[in-house]
Amino acid sequence: MSLLRLSTGEGCGLVIGAYPPFRYDARGGGGLGELGPANQAGLQALEFDPTALPIPPLTWRTTRFLGLPLPPGLSIAIEAEQLAGSLDSATGTLALHFKARFHFAIGSVYRAPALQVDTQLSSGAVSSRRHQRSGSPLAADGSAVLVGVAMIPPSGEAWLDRFLGLPDEALAVLRCRLTPAAR
Protein backbone atom coordinates (compact mmCIF):
# COMPACT_ATOMS: atom_id res chain seq x y z
CA MET A 1 0.00 0.00 0.00
CA SER A 2 1.14 3.50 -0.78
CA LEU A 3 -0.33 6.85 0.17
CA LEU A 4 -1.66 9.53 -2.14
CA ARG A 5 -2.61 13.06 -1.12
CA LEU A 6 -5.75 14.47 -2.70
CA SER A 7 -5.80 18.27 -2.85
CA THR A 8 -8.92 20.04 -4.04
CA GLY A 9 -8.50 23.19 -6.11
CA GLU A 10 -10.17 26.26 -7.49
CA GLY A 11 -12.41 26.15 -10.54
CA CYS A 12 -14.81 23.55 -9.12
CA GLY A 13 -18.52 23.73 -9.76
CA LEU A 14 -21.93 22.58 -8.66
CA VAL A 15 -25.22 22.71 -10.58
CA ILE A 16 -28.51 21.81 -8.91
CA GLY A 17 -31.40 21.05 -11.22
CA ALA A 18 -32.07 23.80 -13.75
CA TYR A 19 -30.25 26.49 -11.73
CA PRO A 20 -27.18 28.21 -13.16
CA PRO A 21 -23.86 26.78 -11.93
CA PHE A 22 -22.20 27.70 -8.67
CA ARG A 23 -18.48 28.42 -9.14
CA TYR A 24 -16.56 27.06 -6.18
CA ASP A 25 -13.00 27.49 -4.94
CA ALA A 26 -12.30 24.30 -2.99
CA ARG A 27 -8.64 25.04 -2.28
CA GLY A 28 -7.52 23.71 1.08
CA GLY A 29 -9.59 20.54 1.02
CA GLY A 30 -8.47 16.95 0.63
CA GLY A 31 -6.77 14.22 2.55
CA LEU A 32 -4.69 11.05 2.41
CA GLY A 33 -5.79 7.95 0.54
CA GLU A 34 -4.47 4.42 0.50
CA LEU A 35 -3.56 3.11 -2.94
CA GLY A 36 -3.55 -0.67 -3.27
CA PRO A 37 -1.58 -2.85 -5.66
CA ALA A 38 -2.70 -3.17 -9.28
CA ASN A 39 -5.06 -6.03 -10.11
CA GLN A 40 -4.91 -8.03 -13.38
CA ALA A 41 -6.78 -5.26 -15.21
CA GLY A 42 -4.26 -2.66 -14.00
CA LEU A 43 -6.69 -1.00 -11.59
CA GLN A 44 -5.59 0.04 -8.11
CA ALA A 45 -8.06 0.44 -5.27
CA LEU A 46 -7.98 3.94 -3.78
CA GLU A 47 -9.73 4.76 -0.50
CA PHE A 48 -9.86 7.91 1.62
CA ASP A 49 -10.88 8.11 5.28
CA PRO A 50 -13.99 10.33 5.15
CA THR A 51 -13.47 11.48 8.75
CA ALA A 52 -10.11 12.95 7.74
CA LEU A 53 -11.30 14.52 4.48
CA PRO A 54 -12.05 18.20 5.06
CA ILE A 55 -13.95 19.96 2.27
CA PRO A 56 -14.23 23.77 2.39
CA PRO A 57 -17.81 24.99 2.79
CA LEU A 58 -19.60 26.97 0.10
CA THR A 59 -19.68 30.52 1.50
CA TRP A 60 -19.33 34.10 0.30
CA ARG A 61 -15.54 33.57 0.37
CA THR A 62 -15.47 30.42 -1.76
CA THR A 63 -18.53 30.49 -3.99
CA ARG A 64 -20.00 32.64 -6.74
CA PHE A 65 -23.49 32.34 -8.20
CA LEU A 66 -24.37 34.37 -11.30
CA GLY A 67 -20.99 36.09 -10.88
CA LEU A 68 -21.75 37.30 -7.36
CA PRO A 69 -20.55 35.89 -4.04
CA LEU A 70 -23.08 34.03 -1.92
CA PRO A 71 -24.75 36.35 0.59
CA PRO A 72 -22.83 36.57 3.90
CA GLY A 73 -24.22 34.16 6.48
CA LEU A 74 -25.37 31.64 3.89
CA SER A 75 -23.28 28.47 3.93
CA ILE A 76 -23.32 24.90 2.70
CA ALA A 77 -21.03 22.60 4.66
CA ILE A 78 -20.01 19.30 3.06
CA GLU A 79 -19.64 16.24 5.29
CA ALA A 80 -17.95 13.40 3.41
CA GLU A 81 -19.19 9.89 4.19
CA GLN A 82 -17.29 7.93 1.54
CA LEU A 83 -14.66 8.54 -1.12
CA ALA A 84 -13.31 5.34 -2.62
CA GLY A 85 -12.79 3.76 -6.00
CA SER A 86 -10.02 2.97 -8.43
CA LEU A 87 -7.12 4.43 -10.35
CA ASP A 88 -5.68 3.12 -13.61
CA SER A 89 -2.10 4.41 -13.46
CA ALA A 90 -1.45 3.53 -17.11
CA THR A 91 -4.25 5.74 -18.46
CA GLY A 92 -4.77 8.16 -15.54
CA THR A 93 -8.42 7.13 -15.38
CA LEU A 94 -9.91 7.76 -11.96
CA ALA A 95 -13.34 6.73 -10.63
CA LEU A 96 -14.39 7.48 -7.04
CA HIS A 97 -17.68 6.76 -5.30
CA PHE A 98 -18.56 9.91 -3.33
CA LYS A 99 -21.22 10.00 -0.63
CA ALA A 100 -21.77 13.13 1.43
CA ARG A 101 -24.26 15.22 3.34
CA PHE A 102 -24.66 18.85 2.33
CA HIS A 103 -25.72 21.05 5.28
CA PHE A 104 -27.44 24.32 4.28
CA ALA A 105 -27.50 27.06 6.94
CA ILE A 106 -28.36 30.72 7.28
CA GLY A 107 -26.09 31.94 10.07
CA SER A 108 -27.08 30.40 13.36
CA VAL A 109 -30.77 31.11 12.68
CA TYR A 110 -31.67 28.22 10.36
CA ARG A 111 -30.27 24.78 9.54
CA ALA A 112 -32.02 22.68 6.90
CA PRO A 113 -32.08 18.89 6.93
CA ALA A 114 -29.01 17.51 5.16
CA LEU A 115 -29.14 16.93 1.41
CA GLN A 116 -27.87 13.46 0.55
CA VAL A 117 -25.43 13.20 -2.35
CA ASP A 118 -24.36 9.82 -3.76
CA THR A 119 -22.43 9.89 -7.03
CA GLN A 120 -19.63 8.37 -9.03
CA LEU A 121 -16.94 11.00 -9.69
CA SER A 122 -15.07 10.13 -12.85
CA SER A 123 -12.30 11.49 -15.04
CA GLY A 124 -14.43 10.43 -18.02
CA ALA A 125 -17.64 11.93 -19.35
CA VAL A 126 -21.06 12.00 -17.69
CA SER A 127 -24.37 12.47 -19.39
CA SER A 128 -27.81 12.61 -17.83
CA ARG A 129 -31.23 14.00 -18.57
CA ARG A 130 -30.06 17.52 -17.58
CA HIS A 131 -26.29 17.56 -17.52
CA GLN A 132 -23.37 16.68 -19.77
CA ARG A 133 -19.75 17.23 -18.84
CA SER A 134 -16.35 15.68 -19.39
CA GLY A 135 -13.64 15.22 -16.83
CA SER A 136 -9.95 14.78 -17.55
CA PRO A 137 -7.61 11.97 -16.50
CA LEU A 138 -4.56 12.47 -14.32
CA ALA A 139 -1.93 14.60 -16.01
CA ALA A 140 1.80 14.21 -15.42
CA ASP A 141 1.60 16.72 -12.54
CA GLY A 142 -1.22 14.74 -10.87
CA SER A 143 -3.99 17.18 -11.77
CA ALA A 144 -7.38 15.88 -12.88
CA VAL A 145 -10.98 16.98 -13.30
CA LEU A 146 -13.62 14.64 -11.92
CA VAL A 147 -17.31 14.95 -12.80
CA GLY A 148 -20.40 13.24 -11.47
CA VAL A 149 -24.17 13.44 -11.61
CA ALA A 150 -26.34 12.54 -8.62
CA MET A 151 -30.07 12.38 -8.08
CA ILE A 152 -30.73 14.52 -5.00
CA PRO A 153 -33.71 13.23 -2.99
CA PRO A 154 -36.07 15.57 -1.16
CA SER A 155 -34.69 16.93 2.11
CA GLY A 156 -38.02 16.74 3.92
CA GLU A 157 -38.12 20.55 4.33
CA ALA A 158 -41.08 21.48 2.09
CA TRP A 159 -39.99 25.03 1.20
CA LEU A 160 -36.40 23.96 0.42
CA ASP A 161 -37.56 21.03 -1.70
CA ARG A 162 -39.85 23.36 -3.71
CA PHE A 163 -37.13 26.02 -4.02
CA LEU A 164 -34.55 23.52 -5.31
CA GLY A 165 -37.10 21.47 -7.25
CA LEU A 166 -36.18 18.26 -5.41
CA PRO A 167 -35.92 15.52 -6.30
CA ASP A 168 -33.68 16.53 -9.19
CA GLU A 169 -30.21 15.99 -10.58
CA ALA A 170 -27.05 17.76 -9.51
CA LEU A 171 -23.75 17.97 -11.37
CA ALA A 172 -20.44 18.20 -9.51
CA VAL A 173 -17.13 19.28 -11.05
CA LEU A 174 -14.03 18.70 -8.92
CA ARG A 175 -10.62 20.01 -9.90
CA CYS A 176 -8.03 18.17 -7.87
CA ARG A 177 -4.46 16.93 -7.70
CA LEU A 178 -3.17 13.54 -6.55
CA THR A 179 0.44 13.40 -5.38
CA PRO A 180 2.50 10.75 -3.57
CA ALA A 181 2.60 11.18 0.19
CA ALA A 182 4.95 9.83 2.83
CA ARG A 183 3.76 7.59 5.65
Residue 104 has pLDDT above 80, yes or no: yes
Calculate mean pLDDT across residues 170-181.
Answer: 96
**Amino acid (one-letter) located at 107:** G
**Amino acid (one-letter) located at 16:** I
Residue 92 has pLDDT above 80, yes or no: yes
DSSP structure string for 79-105: EEEEEEEEEETTTTEEEEEEEEEEEEE
DSSP class of residue 26 equals -
pLDDT digits (tens, 9 = 90+) for 141-151: 999 999 999 99
Contacts of 108 (CB under 8 A, 6+ apart): none
pLDDT digits (tens, 9 = 90+) for 4-26: 999 999 999 999 988 999 999 99
Percent of the chain past pLDDT 70, that is, above it, reads: 99
pLDDT digits (tens, 9 = 90+) for 38-88: 999 999 999 999 999 999 999 999 999 999 999 999 999 999 999 999 999
Side-chain half-sphere of 62: how many Cα atoms within 13 Å?
23
SS3 of residue 143 by DSSP: strand
CB neighbours (10 Å) of residue 183? 6
